[in-house]
Amino acid sequence: MDTSAVILAVASPPGRSPRGIIRISGPATFDLLRPHLHADALGKRQMQAGRLRLRALDLPVMLLAFSAPHSYTGENSAELQMPGNPDLLHRVIDALIDSAGALGIEARRAEAGEFTARAFFNGKLTLTQAEGVAAIIAAQSDAQLRAAGFLCSGRLGSFAHKLADDLANALALVEAGIDFTDAEDVVAISPHDLHARLVALYDDVEAQLNRSIGMEQLEAIPWVVLTGRPNAGKSTLFNALLTRPRAIVSHVPGTTRDVLTEPLTIDTPHGSAEVMLVDLAGADAGESLLNQQMQSAAHQAIDRAELILHCLPVDEPLAASPRPLAASRHNNKLVIRTKSDLDPRVAACGFAVSAVTGAGLRELRALIAQRLADRAVSLAADVLALSPRHEAAMRSAGQSLAEAIDLTEPSLREREREKGVGSRFGHLPHPELIAAAMRVALDNLSELAGDITPDDVLGRIFSTFCVGK
């Protein structure tokens, strides 16, 4: 990856907004902006107002500048805030790149993940922290967000770095002993001491693996889908369960046009956990293209659902509610009598709730937890979520440590039989094989710590980022 050029990208979300952000990074960032930006102090780290003059553009902007190495990327960097029209933002980037050519500056649009990649290459982030940034961007639930935060905090990297340091010290002694194999009176490290160190390292790796979960488990959060006819109270119940107004609620049928998803925290016997609560457009037999698209999206959500909550107002008979075919065949569904405040007599029959009075909501949350206790996603405070790469590296390190431990044990058994004064000392059997196994484990741990990483792994990781991050 070429890190000498100035890179530019839109860093704000797609669409129109009062403000949009252009992110710029590279050694010549300030040289590129200086001819076009009228501001008090270009390299001063503070938010300041200015005007950007490019071609026919004359725009009011807010500038935030960072001088190297005190920036996210470790390079001279700047962020320009301006009116958030997507066309305008891209016109500004094109104009700045054209201007760079006339100034003799190499500038181009950033590749996916390039800002974070530069932060990694410049020592501002470890690789696991960079992966945490990508995980934060992709997080869809609180558990995923917490897991990503753990990676960004460097917990996994710090753990791997400590083990790698301990292992490197032991390996240095083993390799020193190889140089003195013919010297009977020189023992760099005894089999007993090496065995104890390797066992401690192996136990740490295994304990961490046992306390961790796969990132894919957090991605498999179970869906709880609300179904029912238009105006059956689905969106009102959706908001009531979330305890905040997420969906637009109206007496006009068909207000919900899309699939709305939000994580819902429930209490299970194993602690707090999350499910994904889903609000669907109401079942309607209309033939319009929009209605067909709405129902197609609804059926896809139903197919993914772990639990169906079919909403039926208490003032309607059970037989009056049309259900999507997919929902009617679902093997884990409940009929929820909504709007129970309208008719308390009917509410007494079946599972009834009222989003207005709150009646039945606590019981409904408990019922969801009961149905999905084993599948809801939780993440305890001391648990790390590992990507497949992290888990593979840790398991490989554990296997190599186990191999090294096995190679030291024959010498231990021999010394135990001798019962001599020097039973804690002696030369290692097959020191070259032990060193080779330890080297593999060290490479695996160093990959997690970010000290060594193959180029193809770097390419795969940063290609998953969005542009501008």
Say whether pLDDT at 89 is over 80: yes
Three-state helix/strand/coil letters over the chain: CCCCCEEEEECCCCCCEEEEEEEEECCCHHHHHCCCEECCCCCCCCEEEEEEEECCEEEEEEEEEECCCCCCCCCCEEEEEEEECHHHHHHHHHHHHHHHHHHCCCEEECCCCHHHHHHHHCCCCCHHHHHHHHHHHHCCCHHHHHHHHHHHHCHHHHHHHHHHHHHHHHHHHHHHHHHCCCCCCCCCCCHHHHHHHHHHHHHHHHHHHHCCEEHHHHHCCCEEEEECCCCCCHHHHHHHHHCCCCCCCCCCCCCCCCCEEEEEEEEECCEEEEEEEEECCCCCCCCCHHHHHHHHHHHHHHHHCCEEEEEEECCCCHHHCCCCHHHHCCCCEEEEEECHHHCHHHHCCCEECCCCCCCCHHHHHHHHHHHHCCCCECCCCCCCEECHHHHHHHHHHHHHHHHHHHHHHHHHHHHHHHCCCCCCCCCCCCHHHHHHHHHHHHHHHHHHHCCCCCHHHHHHHHCCCCCCC
- Report pLDDT for 286: 53
Give the residue from 279, 298, 302 showing the smallest Cα distance to 233: 279
Q: Give mean pLDDT, residues 438-464.
A: 71
- Report pLDDT for 460: 53
- Report pLDDT for 282: 59
- Report pLDDT for 16: 85
- Report pLDDT for 190: 82
Q: Is the dihedral of CA 290, 306, 342, 245 positive or negative?
A: negative
**Per-residue model confidence as pLDDT tens digits over 355-373:** 888 888 888 998 888 888 7
Q: CB–CB of 142/129 below 8 Å?
A: no
50 or 254, higher pLDDT: 50
Q: Give mean pLDDT, residues 308-330.
A: 66
233: left (phi over 0), alpha (psi -120 to 50) or beta: left
Q: Give mean pLDDT, residues 263-292.
A: 71
Peptide bond into 69 cis (omega under 30): yes
Query: Which of the four pLDDT bands, split at 50, 70 and 90, describes residue 405?
Result: very high
pTM over 0.85? The answer is: no
* Buried-state track 269-308, b at ≥16 Cβ within 10 A, e below 16: eeeebbbbbbbbbbbbeeeeeeeeebbeebeebbeebbbb
Say whether pLDDT at 425 is over 60: no
Q: Give mean pLDDT, residues 314-318.
A: 76
Say whether pLDDT at 426 is over 50: yes
- Report pLDDT for 20: 93
Query: How many residues would you count in the chain?
Result: 469
The full set of domains in the chain, from first to last, is: 6-121 (3.30.1360.120), 142-213+384-449 (1.20.120.430), 224-372 (3.40.50.300)
Say whether pLDDT at 469 is over 50: yes
Name the least confident of 55-59, 324-328, 361-365. Answer: 324-328
**Per-residue model confidence as pLDDT tens digits over 291-309:** 666 677 777 888 888 899 9
Query: Which of the four pLDDT bands, split at 50, 70 and 90, describes residue 377?
Result: low
Q: Give mean pLDDT, residues 450-468.
A: 58
Query: Which of the four pLDDT bands, split at 50, 70 and 90, describes residue 421?
Result: very low
Mean pLDDT of the chain: 80
- Report pLDDT for 381: 55
CA angle (85 as vertex; 84, 89 as ends), nearest 5: 85
Name the least confident of 108-122, 144-158, 218-232, 244-258. Answer: 244-258
- Report pLDDT for 79: 94
Question: What whole-number distance in Å separates Cα of residue 279 and Cα of residue 224?
Answer: 9
Say whether pLDDT at 378 is over 70: no
The two tokens of residue 99 are: 């201007």
141 or 445, higher pLDDT: 445
Q: Give mean pLDDT, residues 410-432.
A: 60
How far is Cα of residue 283 from the mean position of the Cα atoms in its chain?
A: 34
Say whether pLDDT at 284 is over 60: no
**Per-residue model confidence as pLDDT tens digits over 146-158:** 777 877 888 888 8
Say whether pLDDT at 143 is over 70: yes
Percent of all residues in the chain with a pLDDT value above 90, rounded to a whole number:
26
- Report pLDDT for 331: 66
